[in-house]
Structure 1
Amino acid sequence: MALKDLLVVVDDTAAAAARIDAAAQLAARTDGHITGLYPVVPLTLPGYVEAELPDEVRAMQRGYTENQTARAEALFADAVRRNGLTDRSEWRVLYGHPTDSAALHGRYADVVVVGQADPHRDRDRPIAVPQDLVFECGRPLLVVPYAGSFPHIGERVLVAWNGSREAARAVADAMPILTAAKRVVVMAVNPKAGPAGIGDEPGADIAKHLSRHGCRVEATHIVTDQIDPGDTLLNTVADESCDLLVMGAYGRSRLREQVLGGMTRYMLEHMTVPVLMSH
């Protein structure tokens, strides 16, 4: 599958510009089409309050929404222009919850580009939530961190491999990026041994598969109880100057991850580079 149809979820957060830029440069690299989706969340008030609102207040609400929408569209249009995507772009404004809107429209795209939640700023505003979207849209997510800029995505890629169905799905979804990458590192952290594990040479099988697709790939693994597996991956991202992490999402139930913790939750909270994840 080629990445010919990208959907980027745009919002009013400060991180929106970097997210749009990341999606636009990826669309330009893959000769793809980019759609900007701007969900507008209607203000819901109790009926008795709504009935008493003066016309001036209603006009102010409409004006604020129109101004925010125009600002978001301007960011999208600028990124589209700079990346030569004017003839391969579309802008959509929808009313509804961002997660619901992104899940519905994301089913008609090859990948959905969404932002990491900022715990300091996004608590009181509706946003497209990656934890929910990865289950509901049926497409891979490219989650872009709320801090930083990402001028290159997919030149040096780290694949988090544990032999699971979710990891295999993520590798397949990321294949157009992996085949074009300058370097791909497959890493297994604390790999399981035995028949239910991933072999005597952890990562070798999936690396062989990737090499048959023309990927410039190498496999490595680490066994440690001194460092959290998530930190091990992020340390490798830094050491190898990777600009993308590919991983499966929620190999165990979301409730269990919420209670006990897990790799998906950890990455969504601590990511330092964009993460392509699939469930």
Structure 2
Amino acid sequence: MKSIIIHIGLDPEVETRYQAAVDVVQAFQGHLTCVQTATPVDAYMPVDPFGGAAFMADSYERAKQAEEETRVRLEERLRTEGISWDWHCHAGAPARLLANHSWLSDLIVVSAPPANWAARLGTPPVAADVAVNAHAPVLVMPEGQIGFDVDGPAVVAWNGSPESCQAVRAALPLLQRASAVTLVAVEESNRYDFPPLQAATFLSRHGVASEVVEVGTRGRSIAETLRDAAQDRKAACLVMGAYGHSRWQESLLGGVTRDMLIGTPLPLLLAH
């Protein structure tokens, strides 16, 4: 993984994304592309004919100042990290901007969505939108976690779907570094033609030894079962395919990807 993208915003989780991205870039001696999403001017257009214009202009100036302070602060840190990096600042929707930058990238680092995002069908969180529309795998960092253990144990959620196949291929550089790799197949979720042993064979051809484990839900959801399996193995990340159904369908009806994103306790590497 040589080309890493990080989402830079004004949210409090930017530090979590920054440290994870730097850890990956340093481990692979790669390049970091910082994509800062600036607030477009039209978001501050006045809506109140009685003094609203002055208020909105003031808010816009405060947002621009905060964006510039974030850029200066992070660029100062980047100069001390000993890595190659560049910075891009564009106005627009974060997911669209990240997707536009992802064509020749190996990984995009974003944050997990807030716990209440499922109620807002019209405005999907950045992680979900990027996972569907980007052209590179997505590393989703949980709230508050500082740092990413590139060489730690990895768990792969395997159900034999095209999405899980894509996730294994996309995560291969990380799996080659992982201290241990476990393919976890949940009994109730295996609906496709590729058995876990086939995935283990693929990994072995790339020098990755893996353990295959089949687990039952025992009354738990598939997401809970996968989380428990990952935490039991002290996994540094969980690799999985994203959105076997449409994102809208999963938001409305529920799905493993949505359930995993909400309140994830460990980093997720998603590929669609």
TM-score with structure 2 length normalisation? Answer: 0.87
Match of 2:204 in 1: 211
Match of 1:108 in 2: 104
Match of 2:82 in 1: 84
Structure 1 position 180 matched with structure 2 position 180: no
Whole-angstrom distance in 1 between the partners of 2:26 and 2:50: 45
- Give the % identical residues: 27
Match of 1:144 in 2: 141
Residues 192 and 198 in structure 1, CA contact (< 8 A), matched pair in contact too:
no
Offset, 1:57: 6.5
Q: Secondary structure at the match of 1:169?
A: helix
Task: Identify if the C-alpha distance between structure 1 residues 171 and 151 changes in structure 2 by more than 3 Å, giving closer, same or farther.
Answer: closer
- 1:128-277 equivalent positions in 2, closer than 5 A: 129-190=126-187, 196-199=192-195, 203-277=196-270
Structure 1 position 44 matched with structure 2 position 44: yes
Task: Identify if the C-alpha distance between structure 1 residues 127 and 75 changes in structure 2 by more than 3 Å, giving closer, same or farther.
Answer: farther
Residues 15 and 115 in structure 1, CA contact (< 8 A), matched pair in contact too:
yes
Match of 1:98 in 2: 94
Q: After superposition, what is the alpha-carbon deviation per residue over 1:52-97, rounded to whole angstroms, capped at 9, x for unaligned?
A: 734x973x44542333123322453355345321xx1011111112
Q: After superposition, what is the alpha-carbon deviation per residue over 1:255-277, rounded to whole angstroms, capped at 9, x for unaligned?
A: 33223311100111131111111
- 1:10 partner amino acid: I
Whole-angstrom distance in 2 between the partners of 1:90 and 1:193: 42
Offset, 1:221: 0.8
Q: Secondary structure at the match of 2:97?
A: helix
How large is the Cα RMSD of the aligned pairs? 2.8
Whole-angstrom distance in 1 between the partners of 2:44 and 2:142: 30
Task: Identify if the C-alpha distance between structure 1 residues 62 and 193 changes in structure 2 by more than 3 Å, giving closer, same or farther.
Answer: closer
Offset, 1:167: 0.4
- 1:32 partner amino acid: G
Residues 132 and 247 in structure 2, CA contact (< 8 A), matched pair in contact too:
no
Residues 154 and 244 in structure 1, CA contact (< 8 A), matched pair in contact too:
no
Residues 33 and 89 in structure 1, CA contact (< 8 A), matched pair in contact too:
yes
- 2:266 partner amino acid: V
Equivalences, count: 267
Q: After superposition, what is the alpha-carbon deviation per residue over 1:236-272, rounded to whole angstroms, capped at 9, x for unaligned?
A: 2211111111100111222332233111001111311
27-36 vs 184-193, greater mean Cα deviation: 184-193
Residues 150 and 178 in structure 2, CA contact (< 8 A), matched pair in contact too:
no
Q: Secondary structure at the match of 2:109?
A: strand
Whole-angstrom distance in 2 between the partners of 1:142 and 1:117: 13
Whole-angstrom distance in 1 between the partners of 2:51 and 2:97: 28
Offset, 1:186: 0.7
Whole-angstrom distance in 1 between the partners of 2:85 and 2:100: 18
Residues 23 and 147 in structure 2, CA contact (< 8 A), matched pair in contact too:
no
Match of 1:53 in 2: 53
Match of 1:22 in 2: 20
Residues 4 and 30 in structure 1, CA contact (< 8 A), matched pair in contact too:
yes
5+ long unaligned stretches in structure 1: none
Q: Secondary structure at the match of 2:44?
A: coil
- 1:108 partner amino acid: L
Offset, 1:191: 5.4
Residues 98 and 127 in structure 1, CA contact (< 8 A), matched pair in contact too:
no
5+ long unaligned stretches in structure 2: none
Whole-angstrom distance in 1 between the partners of 2:25 and 2:149: 12
